[in-house]
Structure 1
Amino acid sequence: MSVSRRGFLAVAGGAGALLALAACGQAAPAPAAPGAGSSAGSSSAAPAGPWTFTDDRGKKIDLPRRPARVVAQVGSAAALWDFGVRPIAIFGPHRLKSGERDPQVGNVDITKVTGLGNVWDEFNVEQYISLQPELLVSSMYVKGTLWYVPEKSKDTIEQVAPTAGIMLTGQSATQVIEKYAELARSLGADLDAPEVSSARTRFEAANGELKKISETGLKVLMMSGGPDTMWVVNPPEYPDIKHLTETGLDVVTPDKVDDGGFFQSLSWENADKYDADVILYDSRTQALKLEEMMKKPTFAKLPAVRAGHVYPWRAEAPFSYQGYADYLEELVANLKKAGEAS
């Protein structure tokens, strides 16, 4: 038996003991997150009636009552939060090294939720069990694989509470937003609340502006940078980029993609492989910063870079009307600047 296999059994065995205690009613009461109050659950108290939801794995979840104690990966938490659902705990990047909020967490108040993990492969299973969750929600890039749920403890985590997966790959942003809206409504959110309705109106208006810009023929390259590599992303694989192309925006599609289909890897010496009027760069914390990319000679000489038409790509905007209204309004403003200068 391999060391990794032995390690997995050790983790699963320890968590299994905790599960047994919880099943016997001997688990410790769920600790409140710093600053958390009685409103830390979903947007309203769970009713006595049954609850059902079918996720993007085709998995139908049937529960005797609507779950109130929801745990979510930060991207899912950010979407649900904007619709009015308040998870009790989150996992995935939510706090920067400086202690400030990670942009990926959206509008979630991280002082009122428990953090179960902040980096890849980090998930505090024992703490998760102690919270007595009723539902775990995460997105999926690969069908059946919940984002940021560690493979080593997946089986144990899925024994604790039902899980719901929302598919990202191959979907447009609108489809993903609608799925999160469906889930939020089932969890008690009011989709006609003023803040949701206002955000939907902004989202639709920004879409209209984007369609007008698309008619000008601007060509856009979307990419992410690493120390030795420039990744040109493949539009059909990303919900936000698929949304942009469906509005008519001309986004570069690489002529060859790496295994997995998400992007094409280029050395920085080949950064000039594709022509573009505008470059949108990955602004996430793990990606190379613009000032570092500017030190790459080939990148710095690109026409779009020399013209100053380089803008952030908010690669993990929350899949809510509010998140995408913010994302598209910023993008429209930047593309208008590029269009006026060309």
Structure 2
Amino acid sequence: MAGVRFEKARRVYPGSTEPAVHGIDLEIADGEFMVLVGPSGCGKSTTLRMLAGLEEVDGGRVLIGDRDVTAVAPKDRDIAMVFQSYALYPHMSVADNMGFALKVSRVGKAERRARVEKAAAMLGLTDYLDRKPRALSGGQRQRVAMGRAIVRSPQVFCMDEPLSNLDAKMRVQTRADIARVQAELGTTTVYVTHDQVEAMTMGDRVAVMKDGVLQQVDTPLALYRDPANLFVAGFIGSPQMNLVDAEVDGDRARVGEGVGAYAVPLAPAVTAQVTGAVTLGVRPEAWRLLGAGDTADGLEAEVLVVEELGADSYVHVRRAGSGIDTLPLVVRTDPRALPGGGAVRGQTVHVAVDPADVYVFDTATGARLRA
């Protein structure tokens, strides 16, 4: 096994003047589970395919361990790919599908069977080895595809949105299976997804990309608690961070005018960095619904929708005095702790936030303004 390193790796597709990936620098430790996440077109799959040798590298280098593989053929890179399509041979049994690459490599029958059985035991496929793919569920077929990669004992696993064809319940189960198996094997893994929940629940670290540029790399919790910029703040977290336009007014950021106006105190170090427009970020759980007698310092808002999830409620509100095109704010609450069982649609409520829980961003640049 080995680590992976991208050194200013760049890819420009033929016919395009703008790089799909802008000179990415990223180091992935031996045995690490690294997730590349971002919206469609951000360059995450291109980055993975450069590692796998399926895309040319137009600048910089890609290394596996200490070996420069930039110009090495895919078959000689000692990596195993898992795609979103299972790509199983329908006429072969599960065991034959899993062991096919070993057969092509002329691995002996006894060793081939031993490797397949070991991988099947890890993936819960022992009872299905003699079945054909058509007799399996989508989740089981994806585990067969995983098993086909595992038996090869590669230096690196490359996984390109392997769960996108599964239903919601199966995705939850299969992502847990992949994370568990990767931890048991200790194989360096680079995993691509557009789903930030997958990224947060699976990766040792997460690399957030936008427009071919690496925005931030950190542990899932650090990305959530300490986003580097406006994009990362809005992308990481479910429901996403509430982002509100405001104006710096002295030592405060003012949201709205007249009825429904709300002011958040700012640290001097923040006001010294910017004048005019800022964007305030508040996580849904940082808002608190105020009681009827405690509204003086709260933001007045109308309840639009209440999502009841049992232990949590997501209350979608629109601040008073704002237009219908204003994005709703999402307030995460515990319905058991609210008078009368919680908020209801059409109700006027007041919400407030501790200034320490407010993130401040320069609207023009997206940069985080730190106290």
TM-score, normalised to structure 2, is 0.25
TM-score, normalised to structure 1, is 0.27
More helix by share: 1
More strand by share: 2
